[in-house]
Amino acid sequence: TRNDPSMAPMVKPLSDTDIENLAEYYSSLK
C-alpha cells in the first residue's frame, strides 16, 4: 500500500548519512 512504512525512506528527503549508508549497502551487494 502507499502507506507502507518501508517506503517512507524512499519518499522523504534523504540526509547525507542516509545516502552514504545506502551507497555502502548497495556496493556490498555486488
Mean pLDDT for 3-10 is 61
Q: Which residues contact 18 (CB under 8 A, 6 or more apart)?
A: 9
Are 5 and 13 in contact by the 8 Å Cβ rule? The answer is no
Q: Is the confidence at residue 28, as pLDDT, over 80? A: yes
Sorted by sequence, the CB contacts under 8 Å of residue 14 that are 6+ apart come out as 22
pLDDT at 10 over 90: no
SS3 9: helix
pLDDT of residue 18: 84
pLDDT band, residue 19 (cuts 50/70/90): confident
Cell of 29: 551487494
